[in-house]
Structure 1
Amino acid sequence: MRPFTYTGAKNKEQALQSYSPTSHYLGGGTNLLDLMKEDVERPDQLIEVASLDYKKIFQNDKGGLTIGGMLSNSETANHPEVRKNYPLLSMSMLSAATAQIRNMATNGGNLLQRTRCPYFFEASMPCNKREPGSGCGAIKGMNSLHAIFGYSDSCIAVHPSDMCVGLAALGATVEVQKPDGSTRIIAFDDFHRLPGSQPEKDTNLMPGELITAIHLERPEFSEHYYYLKIRERSSYAFALISVAAGLQLKGGEITKAGLAMGGVAHKPWKFKEVEKFLVGKKPDESIFEAAAELAMKDAKPFEGNTYKVEMGKKAIVRALSQAYARKS
């Protein structure tokens, strides 16, 4: 690990004023410190922000819930309001990593997780995300864990977060503090980026912006929901494919749907077309199978991950079926 200085910010003003282009904000450090040890991230300053006063969960003025960016994943997932009204989010968060890591990781830090692509972590291998212009070793290399949607010639890595898949299905927004003291709200679907020609940029955050809160809309999927995570082992493993599914029902028909997938793209992959398709339909296996076909029609796998197409279809059918059958 390379030398760095440490600044323990006492308030948001100090955090924002201390930031420089070679700084990193430090929350729980569960991802950043690993990357520093592997010489992938090389900040010359860490600004500790986990102690800042963004640790509350409260009802917002739109009838939804606001979740503090510095609250831990465990505190969030187990909060009574989250468990009662947003169980899809709770379920997705509790599927991640281990209890010890969830106790440390912050909500803001979870949004900023970097890919677990082995070419990104191995500093001796080519990776445009780590070193722009060096190439993408995964395209013609080992790509069984990689993207089937939204990739580019520069990068085929996938986003690792479980929480973010749940937030994508729920249609959350993210509030950030700008260095000039103002705030802005970012729709969740616009928060993360596809790789394009700049895969080193994971998000649309501007330099120095600090994540302070996540806003959720009014509860809609508190009865019919499911988070399915398919992985190689049952603990401390990232998703091969995951699906967050939420359904709102009235009179035996679907009135609203939320559907997002993890492990398949550079960002949580939200199926907007499928969500619209499901509205007005009577939920049954044939409709869910049709939804799965529609969802996966544009998938373009590589030699090593063709399995993700069929796995994705079956995962969508299972997640929607479980969401329909399940009640809190």
Structure 2
Amino acid sequence: MNPITYVRSTEARAAVAEIGVAEGSSTAGGLPKFIAGGTNLVDLMKENVMRPGKLVDINGLGLDAVEEAEDGGLLLGALGRNADTAYHPLVRERYPLLSSAILAGASPQIRNMASNGGNLLQRTRCYYFYDAGMPCNKRNPGAGCSAIGGLTRLHAILGASEHCIATHPSDMCVALAALDARVRVVSQRGERTIDFAEFHRLPGDRPDQDTTLAHDELITHIALPPAPRFAAHSAYLKLRDRASYAFALVSVAAALDLGDDGRIREARVALGGVAHKPWRLPAAEALLAGAAPSSDAFARVADALLEGAQGQGGNEFKIPMAQRAVVRALETAAAGTVRNDSAGDRAGSTEDAT
């Protein structure tokens, strides 16, 4: 049994002081950790993958509201539960893409407990990462990657390295990437805001570091920029082995801003299930600027997004699947916003894109 110190905090600065400043991997080295919903951390502790020496309970910080921002966007409290966020009237009205993505993830029970900030920090679901008996660079830097040459059905086709081919598991984060969200954090050194595109990392030679957060930084809010122009034409498509409670093989967050002439003024496309972080290339999106919505135009975006994609045996099917999924998601968005109000939505089944 691993001894754990448990502390409850009611003020953000006190919480980060309890964590303290620590260097090195936060996976198994006994470093203190924040805990909110615990839907991922507790699982990892049960599997002996993460062994924090201290848990700092932050549920008393009061960071659970959805608030209007001064710029016309929204501020999502980091401790707001996923379900409450997805069903909030302002989120559903202004950011239906985000609502749909959240409701495509996990199960109703988990969404009722999981926090917004925790969703950003959840660890990969790579089989080898969860098996403490297998070498894993994400768990133990320098140990090797058991996934390379192993079972790779859920693994990355983009942005991987010789050290790690794991994928990021979140649905919510794919939509946040497409919406240009920003992450507000606090530490003993003060406050800062991180662009969502810079929040998660590709594995490189340090796959144990999932994000650019310092160990003692606490997420307080997720800031959504004004985005009414995308509300009318967005879609979240999740392709998975089961219709619910399954991680994405490929997912696509697509949003379009259409002018009065029907042409595309701006496009947003982000992929999930294919890389160590939500995958978005603004240069690929720019191909649609001024274009009329069409399957051919959408296929060119798909080709640009998937350029350089490389399979690892068992996941090579993801490349053509992702190409077709991008086209389908953009076609769906062009026709009008699709709201996924149920985790069992037929649009999430794998067979639809094969």
- Whether TM-score is above 0.5 comes out as yes
CA contact (8 A) 2:234 2:334 kept: yes
Q: Which residue of 2 aligns with 1:210?
A: 218
Amino acid in the other structure paired with 1:202: D
Matched, 1:174 2:187: no
The 10-residue stretch of structure 1 (135-144 or 16-25) with the greater mean CA deviation from structure 2: 16-25
1:60-75 alignment to 2 at 5 Å?
60-75=69-84
Separation of aligned partners in 2, 1:115 and 1:237: 13
For residues 314 and 2 of structure 1, the distance between their equivalents in structure 2, rounded to whole angstroms, comes to: 47
Matches within 5 A, 1:178-189: 178-180=187-189, 182-189=190-197
Query: Do structure 1's residue 53 and structure 2's residue 69 form an aligned pair?
Result: no
The CA deviation at 1:234 is: 1.3
The one of 130, 138, 163 equivalent to 1:129 is: 138
Q: Is the 8 A contact 1:73 1:103 kept in 2?
A: yes
Instruction: Give the percent of matched residue pairs that are identical in Structure 1 and Structure 2.
Output: 50
State the Cα deviation string for residues 267-322 of structure 1 (Å, max 9, x = none).
Answer: 01012122111111100112112221222122111111110110001100110011
Once the two structures are TM-superposed, the CA of residue 208 in structure 1 deviates from its matched residue by: 0.5
Q: Distance in 2 between matches of 1:179 and 1:311?
A: 45
Structure 2 unpaired stretches of 5+: 23-30, 339-354
**Residues 1:142 and 2:151 are matched in the alignment:** yes
Q: 1:116 aligns with which of 121, 125, 146?
A: 125
Show the 5 A alignment for 1:249-268. 249-250=258-259, 251-268=261-278
Cα separation, 1, equivalents of 2:75 and 2:302? 32
Report how far residue 2 of structure 1 moved: 2.2
Quick one: which amino acid aligns to residue 253 of structure 1?
R
CA distance in 2, matches of 1:203, 1:40: 18
CA distance in 1, matches of 2:77, 2:337: 27
Aligned AA (2:275)? A
Query: Structure 2 CA distance, aligned partners of 1:194 and 1:160?
Result: 14
Contact 1:2 1:39 in 2 (8 A): no
Asked if the contact 2:254–2:330 (Cα under 8 Å) also holds between the matched residues in 1, the reply is yes
Alignment partner, residue 35 of structure 1: 44
Q: Secondary structure at the match of 1:294?
A: helix
- Residue 5 of structure 1 corresponds to 5
Query: Conserved in 2, the CA contact under 8 Å of 1:292 and 1:313?
Result: yes
Residue 201 of structure 1: aligned partner = 209
Q: 2:333 aligns with which of 319, 323, 326?
A: 323
The residue identity in structure 2 corresponding to 1:311 is M
1:301 corresponds to which residue? 311
CA shift digits 1:172-210 (9 cap, x unpaired): 100001223x21000000000011111100000012000
Paired with 1:160 and 1:51, the residues of 2 have a C-alpha distance of: 27
1:291 aligns with 2:301: yes
Specify which of 222, 230, 233 is matched with residue 231 of structure 2: 222
- Give, in angstroms, the shift of residue 260 of structure 1: 0.2
Shift of 1:50: 2.1
Q: Whole-Å Cα distance in 2 between the matches of residues 254 and 44 of structure 1?
A: 52
Native 8 Å contact 2:13 2:186 kept in 1: no
Task: Compute the displacement of 1:99 (Å).
Answer: 0.7
Counterpart CA distance in 1 for 2:331 and 2:308 is: 23
* Contact 1:55–1:68 (8 Å) recurs in 2: yes
Kindly tell me: are residues 162 and 107 of structure 1, through their superposed partners in 2, closer, same or farther at Cα, counting changes over 3 Å?
same
For 1:24, the aligned partner's letter is K
Q: Does 1:96 align with 2:105?
A: yes
Tell which deviates more after alignment, 291-300 or 82-91.
291-300
Does the CA contact (< 8 Å) of 2:158 and 2:306 recur in 1? no
- Paired amino acid for 1:71: G
Gaps of 5+ in 1: none
- For residues 295 and 149 of structure 2, the distance between their equivalents in structure 1, rounded to whole angstroms, comes to 37
Deviation (angstroms), 1:105: 0.4
| Distance apart, 1:236 and its partner CA | 1.2
AA at the equivalent of 1:229 = K
1:11: Cα distance to partner? 1.2
TM superposition score normalised by structure 1 = 0.98
> RMSD of aligned C-alpha atoms?
1.0
- How far off its partner does 1:3 sit? 2.1
Map Cα deviations across residues 48-90 of structure 1 (whole Å, 9 max, x no partner). Answer: 1122121111121111111111100011110000000000000
1:270 partner SS: coil
